[in-house]
Amino acid sequence: MYVDEDEGRSNESPSLPTKGEAKKTPEDQSLMKEQDLRAEMGGMKTEMGLLREEMGELKGLVRKLLVVLESAGNKGGS
């Protein structure tokens, strides 16, 4: 017999619900899906904020690089 400690399930009777899975109504399932989606959206918004921050840093570095390249080109070309 196989028992998954994290899930509390075994391969003996996979069709029977575990303690926390007693009968869920469609409304319960819908609410859980909505909560999961909201949590995922929150995580994505956080990631987007971090990406915007990194993009801003990259833009600054690119500007500095262009200035350095321009000044090197002016010194070498004169």
**What are the extents of the domains in the chain?**
26-78
**Per-residue confidence (pLDDT) for residue 75, from 0 to 100:** 82
Could you tell me the pLDDT band of residue 42, with boundaries at 50, 70 and 90?
very high
User: Which of 5-14, 40-49, 67-76 is modeled with the greatest confidence?
Assistant: 40-49
Classify burial at 9, counting beta carbons within 10 Å of its beta carbon; exposed 0-12, middle 13-18, buried 19 or more. middle
Rounded to the nearest 5°, which phi and psi values hold at 16? -85, 135
pLDDT at 22 over 90: no
Assessment of whether the complete model's pTM goes beyond 0.75: no
Could you tell me the pLDDT band of residue 26, with boundaries at 50, 70 and 90?
confident
